[in-house]
Structure 1
């Protein structure tokens, strides 16, 4: 059984993949530059999600306006853990949240069809004071997953969930350092 608050992600020894959904204009510019550039907003919080299925739910499989393109954003694990070390849970109270450089929110993980599961998926909000570090220093690579998302969505909608699942990125439990567990987990 999956613990209620556990980060699942696609990661290797040096990097972790987080997902974001954007308009075609933002995605195309980012893919051309290899990092986020205008029209990406550097003046507001950006939310990164290591759960592919949660982002599929949030973007309605890349069908929501402004979220038609899904990008896999590979960042260094060092940067990911730095973000977590600066995080405040969104349930911490208005004063703590308002002053935080990074926000952490847990939402029910989703099945491929969008049903809420009995464990949670982490979202990490990178505040505007760290946006430039995120876009200029943390990112190792960007990959457009939109064709894969559209194919998996079509397979899911037509009752071919097992085939669709093979298109999902591999995710497993991320080894959160002991020093960060209380910061990111509501039940730690």
Structure 2
């Protein structure tokens, strides 16, 4: 069985791909600018997710209102690593935060929230292992849009094709078209410390 908690993603030496779902207006503007611009909101937390199938379940394959467009955002690994280093879990895992009060203080001040959710199958069923999603606070969103994003691709046509294949009972064909994800190992910081999440 896959590792219980792991970052599974499409990545290369310099970038990692994360996914977000938006309406046509936000998606079209982002694709034209190759980063997020108005009417994208810079005033609230934005969640980025490296698991394609997790977002498919969340957006119901782009069928949910306001989530019709699926964007693949390639960001610098350095930015991703910075976000992870600033991350605090959305719940107080006892092994990491034995004192709930210290977790509450850290969580309230955190620029990044980290959440582990069950990975999803092609048909949306919860799997017995977890994938990460990362919430960037408004304090970091400008860095995300201005410094971290390398490019944005519209995966909506692929999503629609995959959805049709699944509805037609062609799961095997759909699986062959999925983005190839593998376990991503965060780089160790210079002082040898590990991320707080």
TM-score, normalized by the shorter chain, greater than 0.5: yes
Note the alpha carbon deviations across 1:130-177, whole angstroms, 9 max, x for none.
Answer: 000001110000000000000001101211111111221110010123
Partner SS, residue 130 of structure 1:
helix
Taking only aligned residues, the RMSD between alpha carbons, in angstroms, comes to 1.2
Q: 2: distance between equivalents of 1:171 and 1:127? A: 26
Indicate how the Cα distance of structure 1 residues 48 and 163 shifts in structure 2: closer, same or farther if over 3 A, else same.
Answer: same
Instruction: Pick the aligned partner of 1:116 from 107, 126, 142.
Output: 126
Q: Which residue matches 1:57?
A: 57
Q: Structure 2 regions of 5+ residues with no counterpart?
A: 93-102
Q: Which residue matches 1:72?
A: 72
Q: Which residue matches 2:36?
A: 36
Aligned ranges for residues 10-159 of structure 1 at < 5 Å? Answer: 10-92=10-92, 93-159=103-169
TM-score by length of 1: 0.94
Q: Which has the larger radius of gyration?
A: 2
Q: What is the number of residues matched between the two proteins?
A: 184
Note the alpha carbon deviations across 1:32-89, whole angstroms, 9 max, x for none.
Answer: 1111000000000000000000000000000100100000000000100000000001
TM-score by length of 2: 0.90
Q: Structure 1 regions of 5+ residues with no counterpart?
A: none
